[in-house]
Amino acid sequence: MRIANLSGRLALIVNGLAVDVATASDGRFSADPQAVFEQFDEFRGWAAAAVLPAGTPFDPAELGAPAPLPRQVFGIGLNYQAHAAESGIAAPSSPAVFTKFVTSFSGPYTQVRLPAGEVDWEVELVAVIGRRAEHVAASAAWPHVAGLTVGQDISERVLQMVGAVPQFSLAKSYPGFAPMGPWLVTVDEFTDPDDLELSCAIDGEQMQKGRTSEMIFSVPELIEKLSAVTPLLPGDVIFTGTPSGVGMGRTPKRFLQPGEVLTTSIEGIGGLRQSFVR
């Protein structure tokens, strides 16, 4: 199942066409794309059994973030061995956690204003929670995930590294620094949700390519570690970390420039497209 935020309304994407959920369900489910995660098991059951009306074509520019207003957002740093190595930091023995503030969220196809500094890219698998998770073991974690989407953890490295300790959260939260989408794909759609190819490119030149099976802490392990401390709530968003190939890890270093286009994709989900202006 592909679940989208289309102009701020919850939609199912079926064969490339959009079905408005509030209309198709006669109001049983709200049009609010964030509200569906509060009753996600019920929603999944309805969607599987419902005879849906024919979908309608839509403008992809109207897609928003699939979970646009979560109560909690978790970002995981240095979650791939090769990325920790290119960052010059030892691989963590427990997840390195920060947040991206929700004002940085956007849909999949956007223009992003570059702040002063050095703006970098990070392709990431994003998991959205569909069932409250508190002290959940990794072996029981996947049913707590509503679905997976594509994310970019865009990061301004000067602010991130200034000062005695890194400023991960603030430096990764400029407006437009958390594009997501194009939709949320439920976990049952993947042959192996723990092994998906992810990549990104600038103006068609590949910058990153990896597989989520290379994560130091897999999605289920992250849920175990996070939910041991703080309950994960329906609709919460987890940016799960990036593979190697970011700009600050390259020789010479490279950062996003005005006029460049960043494309990002994950196997079985789809892609993002960001253009940049100063």
Closest distance of CB 194 from Zn ion, Å: 19
Strands 119-120, 205-211: parallel, antiparallel or unpaired by DSSP? unpaired
> Of the ranges 42-50, 146-154, 189-197, 251-259, which one interacts with Zn ion (CB under 5 A)?
146-154
Give the residue, chosen from 153, 156, 224, 236, that forms a contact with Zn ion under the rule CB under 5 A: 153
**What are the φ/ψ torsions at residue 231 (nearest 5 degrees)?**
-60, 140
Total binding residues toward Zn ion, as defined by CB under 5 A:
3
Strand partners, 123: 152
Nearest-CB residue for Zn ion? 153
User: Coil, helix or strand for 155?
Assistant: strand
Give the C-alpha separation, 56 to 154, whole Å.
32
- 122 versus 156: smaller Cβ distance to Zn ion: 122
Residue 51 Cβ vs Zn ion, minimum distance, rounded to whole Å: 41
Question: How do strand 178-185 and strand 105-106 relate by DSSP bridges?
Answer: parallel
* Contact between residue 271 and residue 150 where contact means Cβ atoms under 8 Å apart: yes
Question: How far is it, in rounded angstroms, from Cα 249 to Cα 242?
Answer: 12
* Contact call for residue 242 and Zn ion (CB under 5 A): yes
Stretch that binds Zn ion, among 54-62, 100-108, 159-167, 241-249 (CB under 5 A): 241-249
* Number of Cβ within a 10 Å radius of residue 64: 20
User: Any contact of residue 122 with Zn ion (CB under 5 A)?
Assistant: yes
Nearest residue (CB) to Zn ion, 44 versus 83: 83
Q: Which is nearer to Zn ion, 212 or 242 (CB)?
A: 242
* Contact residues for Zn ion, defined by CB under 5 A: 122, 153, 242
